[in-house]
Amino acid sequence: MKSKKNRFFPLFITQCLNAFNDNAFKNSLILIITYESLSAYGLNTKEIISVATFLFTLPYLMFSSYAGNLTDRTSKDKLARTIKFLEIFIMALSIYAIPSRNVTLFIVLLFFMGMQSTFFSPVKLSMLPELVSEKNLLKANGIFSMGTFFSILFGTAVGGILVKSFSDNSAYIGVALTFFSILGYLSSLRIPHLKAQNTKTNTDNSILTCLKNAFSNNTIKYAVIFSSWLWFAGIYYLSTLPLIIKNYFFMDETISTLYMAVFSIGIAIGSLVSSKVSKNFSISKCIFTGILGMTLFHIIGSSLIQKPDIIQNSYGGIEAFLNNQKAIFLLITISIVSIFGGMFIVPLQTLVQLTADPKECARMISALNIFQAIALLSSSALLFILYRIGLDTHEHYYVLIILYLLVCITILPKLKYLNHQK
């Protein structure tokens, strides 16, 4: 990987800036909606957040198959630059949308940002095996994921800082986001030229065809299916943690941002750890250790969230957090869940890249994205339904315990497929 460092680095920086901007934008909108109690279409704040999350994810389901086909038959570096250029215009619209507090515009922009991420995902992940040798691919994925989730961390944090700093002049939030998009485009100009892998790729862009091709190989099939769990659980945490911090612990945006940031740090750490564990033991053992650790510490964390007896009308900051033992322990358990999450997801993603034919690697990544989209949409739908039937946020975490246990039981007999066969 050292000999190809200069080829890998521009893609790494471009992806980091992409993840940073996505999450700065998304977290800014979630915090504005949450703390200003915005509503629309007869939906309350919690329901608006679940709908917004749903629509951010919907493009992954709608366009992933087409994005994979396009990526396999196109020069990936040129496609990356085109996508990053279009992102600048999307972010420029936020300069007007954010000060307007127009929920419809928020949702439209989230949809478009989800669309650009849908097209960028198969580009970046199928490009990685072309820039890094096979023996270093797991390590490279660990570094790539680490950078991505640290970028999510900084983007999440900056989103909170922007909302707090420019509450009276929120157009500056959009200006900052547009600036970050420009940086992402400039970094994409340094990505080395790569030839299209398959100019005669099948033009059938249906989801079913994409999944059928991916599922013809058991290793890819089970890697695709099980990797979706992290995204199902992750979106649930990121959607509910601000509500838990506000409504259960009575703390402000700073503490909400802290929790979401720590979740990202944990996955970044777990991503690096995964390459070590997989090397010393096996990929399948790393995967199963990851899901067991996530399950155990989710159960511990759920026991720390209890409905308050007294409702407070004011929200504390760092001092209130430091004086609340349960809040501190919850932060620790959430961080450990995410560390095991990083150990779980990176080997699964790497297995898809290692197993796929280079001529159709982007399409296999698209299958990964389609299943992740199904998981994200299912998570958002479950969030919406559980709120609609009257469950409080802490009760959602009990439902997740059942789902965690089902995943553990299901994955165990399939571990024999989750190793790379040389």
Tens digit of pLDDT for each residue in 45-71? 777 777 777 788 788 888 888 888 888
Q: Which two tokens stand for residue 327?
A: 């809040």
pLDDT of 421: 57
pLDDT of 201: 58
Q: Which two tokens stand for residue 163?
A: 């909302």
Neighbours of 377 (CB within 10 A): 20
CA-to-CA distance for 8 and 168, rounded, in angstroms? Answer: 41
Comparing 250 with 292, the larger pLDDT belongs to 292
Options 3.40.50.720, 3.40.1160.10, 1.10.10.10, 1.20.1250.20; CATH for 2-191+205-417 is: 1.20.1250.20
- Between 207-214 and 218-247, two packed helices, what is the crossing angle to 10 degrees? 120
Q: Are 47 and 40 in contact (CB under 8 A)?
A: no
Query: For 24-60, what is the HEC assignment?
Result: HHHHHHHHHHHHCCCCECCECHHHHHHHHHHHHHHHH
Query: What is the Cα gyration radius of the chain?
Result: 21
Tokens 């709120």 label which residue?
Answer: 387
CA-to-CA distance for 378 and 380, rounded, in angstroms? Answer: 5
Burial annotation 213-235 (CB, 10 A radius, 16+ → b, else e): bbeebebbbbbbbbbbbbbbbbb
Q: Are 99 and 77 in contact (CB under 8 A)?
A: no
Neighbours of 296 (CB within 10 A): 16
CA-to-CA distance for 93 and 203, rounded, in angstroms? Answer: 33
What backbone torsions phi and psi does residue 252 show, to the nearest 5 degrees?
Answer: -90, -170
Residue 380 makes CB contacts below 8 A (sequence gap 6+) with: 50, 51, 53, 54, 57, 235, 239
Tell me the residue type at 6: N
Q: If pLDDT is split at 50, 70 and 90, which confidence band does 343 have? A: very high
Q: If pLDDT is split at 50, 70 and 90, which confidence band does 202 have? A: low
Q: Where are the beta strands (DSSP E) in 278-356?
A: none
pLDDT of 162: 87
Tell me the mean pLDDT in the region 66-86.
88
Q: If pLDDT is split at 50, 70 and 90, which confidence band does 2 have? A: very low
Tell me the mean pLDDT in the region 391-418.
92
CA–CA distances in Å: residue 411 to residues 211, 225, 377 = 19, 10, 21
CA-to-CA distance for 235 and 257, rounded, in angstroms? Answer: 15
